[in-house]
Amino acid sequence: MAATVIETPSTRKEKVRDWTKPAAMAIPKEGYFSVKNGRYGPLYPRTPACHGFTIIAKIKPGREETIRAYGKTIETAIADMPDALATLKLHYLRWVLFDIGKDTYFMYQGIFDTDFDKYTEDAVALFKKVGVNTVFENLEGFPEDWKTNVPAFVKFVREHQCPSFLEYGEYPYETADEIKKALQLKAKFSEMLDLMQ
């Protein structure tokens, strides 16, 4: 396959991607190579680890256990409704609580296939449905009127977002949908071979 050329200052269109070779990408401090504006602010490029964000925010004092309890909430929600988060096109989610001195911080790391700017309103609606919204309400600085004020919610996310400076992908750029399709095909093919015995 041709060499991959992804968004850099000198290219405007994303070209063919090569999933056969692991790849890494160093990213400038701002999180993007050149300013390209989405509806709510600058866009971040697709990397070998697709799209994502790392939100780090201080929690309101005494809320640690409340936040931890959401682990079970989400586990149950997904067990009941496995496709609940389908709109976000997630690969992975990691929620972490850690201390710096006397303060406790919450880190929300997501890796997904669509840039956050596009599906912001859908994400907010989804959070409400799955019950994730109230996790955010335990964070300092989270806007109280976030339900009717999507721009304020986006502002909070962007202000607490810490862009990566390095991302690596074992099967770079591939979407969760494509990976699942490939796995399904493999399973069906194996079944077919079995039937031909």
Partner 1 sequence: MAIYSASLPKSVGRELPKADAASLEFEDIQHFLIHRSPALAARYEFLTFRKPAPGRAWLRTMTEKVTTAAAVRSGQLNTRWVTVALNWNGIRALGLNDHSLASFPEEFRQGMATRAEVLGMTGANHPEHWKGGLASADLHAIVILFARDVPERERCRVEHEKFLSQCQGVEVLSSLDLEAIPPFDYAHEHFGYRDRLSQPAIEGTGEEPMPGSGPAIKAGEFFLGYPDEEGLSAEGPKPEILSRNGSYLAYLMMEEHVGAFRDFLRQHGETQDEQELVAAKLMGRWRSGAPLVLTPEKDDPKLAGDYQRTNDFDFGKMDPHGYACPLGAHIRRMNPRDTAANMNRRKMIRRGGTYGPPLPEGVPEDGRERGIAAFVGCASLVRQFEFAMNVWANDPNFHELGNERDPIVGTQDGTFDMTIPKRPIRKKVKGLPAFTTIRGGAYFFLPGIKALRYLASLT
Residues that bind partner 1 (CB under 8 A): 13, 36-40, 87, 118-119, 121-122, 125-126, 145, 147-151, 175, 177-178
Q: Phi/psi of residue 114, each to 5°?
A: -125, 140
Indicate the pairing of strand 51-58 with strand 103-112.
antiparallel
Give the nearest distance from C-beta 4 to partner 1 in angstroms.
14
- The nearer residue to partner 1, 20 or 148, going by C-beta atoms, is 148
- The nearer residue to partner 1, 87 or 104, going by C-beta atoms, is 87
Q: Over the range 89-108, which residues count as b (16 or more CB within 10 Å of their CB) and which as e?
A: bbbebebeeeeeeeebebeb
Give the nearest distance from C-beta 86 to partner 1 in angstroms.
8
Q: What is the 3-state secondary structure (H, E, C) of 99-159?
A: EECCEEEEEEEEEECCCCCCCHHHHHHHHHHHCCHHHHCCECCCCCCCCCCHHHHHHHHHH
Give the nearest distance from C-beta 196 to partner 1 in angstroms.
22
- The nearer residue to partner 1, 68 or 147, going by C-beta atoms, is 147
Give the nearest distance from C-beta 122 to partner 1 in angstroms.
5
- The nearer residue to partner 1, 122 or 159, going by C-beta atoms, is 122
- Find how far residue 109's CA is from the centre of its chain: 6
- The nearer residue to partner 1, 73 or 175, going by C-beta atoms, is 175
Give the nearest distance from C-beta 126 to partner 1 in angstroms.
8
| Local structure of 187: helix, strand or coil | helix
